[in-house]
Structure 1
Amino acid sequence: MVSTSTLQQPRLHNRYSIQQTLGARLGRRTLLGYDHSRNCQVVIKYLCFDDPLQPSDTKRFHEEITVLKILDHPAIPTYLDSFEINEHGYVGLMLVQAYIDGQSLYAVINEQKTLAEPEIRDLARQILDILDYLHNQRPTIIHRDIKPSSLVLSQTSNTTPGKVYLVDFGLVQRAGTTEGIGEEPILISGTPGYRPPEQLGDRAVPATDLYSLGATLVHLATGQHPNQLPQRGLRILFGQELGHMSRSLKAWLRWLTQPKQHKRPLSAQAAIQGLAQADKIFVPSHNHLSLGNLSQRFQRAFLETMAPADTQLKIFEYSQTLEVVLPPQGWKTKPFCLAFLQTMTGVVGTWLIFQSFRYFWPQLIGFWQHLLAIVVSWGWTHLSLRFGYQGFKRTLTTLFQQVSIQLLPDIILLGYRVPCRPVDYQINTYKQDIEDIDLQPGGSTITFHLRNNRTVMGKLEYVLPALDLGLTPSEISWINNILQLWLKHKAPSV
């Protein structure tokens, strides 16, 4: 039913009446209108030429129109019309879309509504479905501004948050296109708190939208803007604020909000798959990871998100091999200081023995005294040189030696790697020949119990000590989780 006030409003483009302003910022207005031809409410986006605009503003508006014309998804408001206008006090461009009767997620937050975990998961699945559609367009379409105010709930209930719509495509970008024209400066796109680091350089990939989604979900789950949450470097810390959420969901959100884009899901579909299997990733009774039949690339990406903060351990993937590399301990560690002290003790000891020999030699008389001096000096020199040489080897070890753990589908290789030398393997065995890989709760040593070992030494029991390698308890636990995952993962049949 059309109200009397609407009928009395001047009609723009001979068909649209303006009912109210929904939002406004410099150069742009979002208006609630009525389409007299279709007899329905519409949303009209208005780019005002009377406001100071940049050439990029008009370019973005035309890009938004171009993209919306080709989109056809039930959760994206339908494109209806666009035109240039200069009447009834309106001068600029207008874009008309279907009106969604609902409220933005930003309004939900302002009402201090607490969303339970099932609601967060449901919202995540719906939004990921929209992003999957956008990212699979050719060329790929990237929204670049996912945030609570860009998402509208059509309705709410006591059990589910309702249907979600993605709106506000003002920063949309198609892959392969650029923002700048000629010598125009690059502008920072996105909204602070929700944009990932790469958007500071105006770069965007599908993983950019996934980060923004993760930050949006964190805001919904915590009730706190991402900028208000504690941070370590560029990583958002929200574990304590999400104490009421499951460990698996928190891990999944950490995956989405990784500062480095290559550590996030490769696609919206990968994020959907990860969310569906998140409850299987952790086995709470054993505190081990279990990724089932997920791809190795997903394993690496997820395992990196579970790495302890500030760890120097690295994970590499190549030719069906997952490699964990423990870097050298370096010179700022206690083992290096002790090894260097041992080396210098050996050098100084040798020098003192040599000086003592030179001092006492002329004072000796007789053959036997000289022979005894030679034997004693040689013995002490040998011990001092050996002591210093061992310290020198330990010094080089702390500076250059890496520990490499290579996990093939059915083989494990563990060895010490030093530049310019072949790897010194301590373990080379099939998965079926491993009796157990054990890390006692609260312990700092991983013990390998083997039935067969194809190395030169062939030891059937090997220990990987955290203290000797300069690892923290959380790092040795993380390595153990990776090993347990590999041990449980069934090798693909050939």
Structure 2
Amino acid sequence: MASKILKERYVIQKQLSKNAGRRTLLARDLHTQELVAIKLLIFGEDFHWDNLKLFEREAQTLQLLSHPAIPRYLDYFDVDTPTGKGFALVQSYIPAKSLEEWLKSGRTFSEAEIKQLAKALLEILRYLHGQQAQVIHRDIKPSNILLANRSGNSVGDVYLVDFGSVQTLAARKGSTITVVGTYGYMPPEQFGGRNVPASDIYSLGATLIYLATGRHPAELSQDNLQIHFESIVNLNPDLIDWLKWMTQPSLNRRLASAGEALKALKNPRQQTDISAIRQKPFGSRIELKEDGENLEILIPPKRLTFWSAFWIFIGTLFCLGLALWAFICIIDVILGNLEVSFIVVFSIFFVGSGFSLLWEAITLFSRDTKINIDCNQISVTHLWPGYKCQVTPIMNKNLNNNIMYIRHSLAISGQEKFYKTLGIYQLTPPEIEWLANEISAFSAGKITVVSADNKYVKIPTAK
């Protein structure tokens, strides 16, 4: 297609990239003699209508934007090519290499350069997210960030390009959601079609982690969707904490805006929300799983010791003996010995009490309790080996102003009193404090977590 002229104005110089029905061309504008970038969307075998929707949205969005670090909209028209009809979007051309290209060429980035890049990109995001029709980029990654004019201690000029995945506030209203993005840089909520400014914050954090480690985020180890990279970098602990805050899987724990991220980067001591990134107390068997939208707490049964098993065995024999005695007394009454009728009553009472205590003991050592918390309710599932008894929900209103009490076992309250016991695992003070931090951080203050005796209190961090 080289030397071909589009719209009798744009002389094609060369092809810059090609993928799935799209091409990006370098051309010269005969009217201005400037180089421009032309994106082509062709109606071919790889064409999908979602592609056209995103292509048109990119053109409409760029028309409304004016920022030196973002390509300028120049023109939009339909074209005829040997492979089919299509549309062309003309943008200003930025002669710079992407971060991906810099990394592949062997360039490394110092901590100071990573901070410079972070500040520059956060300023761009603050501009995009501050538009009246809020713009979410949705595909921030090293190949979509250009870097030019490096000099001395300056990282150079930073540009954010490729708005082909962009979503605006207007586009979200009354329309279906198209899930786009790049694996490794997409936050959990984006897989479900949900996109907010904090989604771009996550993608930027993952990009900066790539710069710091030289490894794709998907190649790094994860725990409950949290990227772990601190062991393979030599960065200031404050910067590590900030990057972990940027890439928190849960929206409620993540930095919510570019402004907040800039403030936290400039003032590391104000990163109070990092207290939510706590390690589980040593030896604790409680398991937490989080996918950004739900928090699951699995409370295991109490450990069965030799003496516990011994006393359960003795209790079982005692209860069986009482049951046998009661049965013999009942037979005597049936045969006419009414003198033992009062013994029957007491026997049945003691048998019932004994088996009730025995059942509680067996439950203590055999039943798991699973607690699920999302934005609308808290539900509980009691799990025995081979059997599941679902108890849901115990709180089905908005979680605002509800209280979760923790003291040895968990309980939920909406009226400042115990409502439903959730578990019987004996919690230690460190476990109580840890769970309080985790639940408060996840719910962003919608659940207040205190102990039943108010000894351990976690006040949710205000955002």
Give TM-score scaled by structure 2 length: 0.66
Q: How does 1:370-381 map to 2 (within 5 A)?
A: none
1:271 has 2:266 as partner = no
Cα distance per residue 1:127-186 (max 9 Å; x no partner): 11111221222222111111101110122234232121110011111135359978xxx7
Distance 1:26 1:312 in 2: 43
Distance 1:275 1:335 in 2: 48
For the residue of structure 1 that corresponds to 2:91, the secondary structure is strand
Q: How does 1:80-99 map to 2 (within 5 A)?
A: 80-86=74-80, 91-99=85-93
For the residue of structure 2 that corresponds to 1:195, the secondary structure is coil
Distance 1:81 1:51 in 2: 26
Q: Classify 1:393/1:355 alpha carbon distance in 2 versus 1 (closer, same or farther; 3 Å).
A: closer
Structure 2 residue aligned with 1:148, among 142, 145, 167?
142
Q: Give the equivalent residue in structure 1 for 2:237.
A: 247
1:192 has 2:183 as partner = yes
CA-CA distance at 1:414 after TM superposition? 8.2
For the residue of structure 2 that corresponds to 1:171, the secondary structure is coil
1:238 has 2:229 as partner = yes
Structure with greater Cα Rg: 1
Q: How does 1:48-447 map to 2 (within 5 A)?
A: 48-50=42-44, 52-86=46-80, 91-175=85-169, 177=171, 188-242=179-233, 244-278=234-268, 281=271, 291=272, 299=273, 302-308=274-280, 312=287, 330-331=300-301, 333-334=302-303, 342=311, 345-346=314-315, 348-349=317-318, 395=364, 418=411
Q: Give the equivalent residue in structure 1 for 2:427.
A: 469
Give the letter for the 1:227 counterpart. A
Q: Classify 1:154/1:279 alpha carbon distance in 2 versus 1 (closer, same or farther; 3 Å).
A: farther
Structure 2: state its 5+ residue gaps: 329-349, 372-404, 419-424, 442-449, 451-455
Give the letter for the 1:38 counterpart. T
Q: Give the equivalent residue in structure 2 for 1:461.
A: none
Give the letter for the 2:213 counterpart. T
Q: Classify 1:45/1:311 alpha carbon distance in 2 versus 1 (closer, same or farther; 3 Å).
A: farther
Give the letter for the 2:200 counterpart. D
Q: Give the equivalent residue in structure 2 for 1:367.
A: none
What's the C-alpha RMSD, in Å, of the aligned pairs?
Answer: 5.0
CA-CA distance at 1:30 after TM superposition? 1.1
Distance 1:91 1:357 in 2: 91
Q: Give the equivalent residue in structure 2 for 1:46.
A: 40
Q: Classify 1:303/1:342 alpha carbon distance in 2 versus 1 (closer, same or farther; 3 Å).
A: farther
Q: Classify 1:97/1:351 alpha carbon distance in 2 versus 1 (closer, same or farther; 3 Å).
A: same
Give the letter for the 2:247 counterpart. T
For the residue of structure 2 that corresponds to 1:263, the secondary structure is coil
Structure 1 residue aligned with 2:5, among 6, 11, 17?
11
CA-CA distance at 1:91 after TM superposition? 4.2
Distance 2:364 2:416 in 1: 19
Give TM-score scaled by structure 1 length: 0.62
Q: Give the equivalent residue in structure 2 for 1:294.
A: none
Q: Give the equivalent residue in structure 2 for 1:27.
A: 21
Distance 1:176 1:223 in 2: 37
Cα distance per residue 1:347-392 (max 9 Å; x no partner): 6457669989999xxxxxxxxxxxxxxxxxxxxx9xx98xx79x86
Distance 2:51 2:363 in 1: 62
Q: Classify 1:476/1:202 alpha carbon distance in 2 versus 1 (closer, same or farther; 3 Å).
A: closer
Q: Classify 1:341/1:258 alpha carbon distance in 2 versus 1 (closer, same or farther; 3 Å).
A: farther
CA-CA distance at 1:124 after TM superposition? 1.1
Give the share of equivalent positions with the same residue, in percent. Answer: 34
The question of whether the paired residues in 1 share the 8 Å contact of 2:286 and 2:300 is answered with no
Distance 2:102 2:178 in 1: 30
CA-CA distance at 1:106 after TM superposition? 0.6
